[in-house]
Amino acid sequence: MYHDVFSDSPAPFIPRSSAMYHISKQSFIQHLAIIKKSTLNVLTVSEYLDNKEKKSISITFDDGWKGAFNIAMPILKDFGYRCTYFITKDFIGREGFIDEKGIMMASEAGMEIGVHGTTHRMLSNCSKDEIIWEFTNCKEYLESLTGQKVVSGSIPGGDWNETIASCVSIAGLKIFCNSKPGINLSNTNLFNLKRIPIKENTSDSDIQRYCQYNISKELIKSALYQIPRKLLGMKRYSNFRRWLLGEKNN
C-alpha cells in the first residue's frame, strides 16, 4: 500500500501524517527491483479475483497523489508492472493530486483505477446510505471518466468494519482492500483484503521480507495500534494522532 512518490522531498504543504507515507523515487525503484528479483507475479487488485491460488503481490496507491502517477507510473512501466490506483473523487485536481487527464492516461496505459471514496471521511460513524453514496458516487464518476468498469476499492483511513463492507458490495464493487497488514489466502474475504503499508522508513530488507511473506513485525505493530483505535474510535484516534504530530484537528 503506497501513497505517493517524490523526486526530492515531499511538498512542504503536505501534513506530517500524510508525508510519512510518501517515499522517494530511488526507494521506489529499489522496491521494484527487489520484487522483480523475487519472481513473484505482480497483479492488479481485480486480477486477484481470478488468480487467488497464485503466489503474487499487488502494488496499490491510495488517494490519487500526483507523484504516484507522474513519477511512479513510468517506473512501473519500465519494470513491466501494472498497479491499482484508488482515487478519492473530491481530491482530483487539488494541489498535489492528479487531475482528470492524468487518471485517463493511467487507465489508457493499462493501470487499474479503483474507488477510495468521495470525500475521504471516516465512515464508521456514517449511515448506510451515506457509506453507499461515498462509493457509488466515486465509482460512477470514475467509470464515466475512463470508460472502464470499476470493480475494486479501498477504505479511507483504515476505518473498516462489516457494515462498511456490506455497503461496498451494494455499491457494486467486487473486491475491497483494508489497510491492515496480513497475507491474503484463497479463502480470504474479498471485501477485507489485507495490505502492507509502505512508509518513508520502509527498508529494502523489509521489502525482501514481504516478498517472502514474512510480516510478523508488522502484525505485532498493528495489534498494538488497534488498542487506542478501539478505545477512542477512529475519528477521535485520527484527531489524537494528528495532535501528536503537531497538526491541527478537524
Instruction: Check: CB of residue 168 under 8 Å from CB of residue 135.
Output: yes
Among candidate residues 58, 123, 113, 60, the one with its CA nearest the CA of residue 89: 113
Q: What is the pLDDT of residue 69?
A: 98
For residue 90, pLDDT beyond 70: yes
Cell 482515487 identifies what position? 87
Provide mean pLDDT across the span 218-222: 87
Other C-beta atoms lying within 10 Å of the C-beta of residue 71:
17
What share of the chain in percent tops pLDDT 70? 91
Q: Kindly report, residue by residue over 72-82, the tens digit of the pLDDT.
A: 999 999 999 99
Instruction: Check: CB of residue 40 under 8 Å from CB of residue 56.
Output: yes
Q: Kindly report, residue by residue over 140-149, the tens digit of the pLDDT.
A: 999 999 999 9
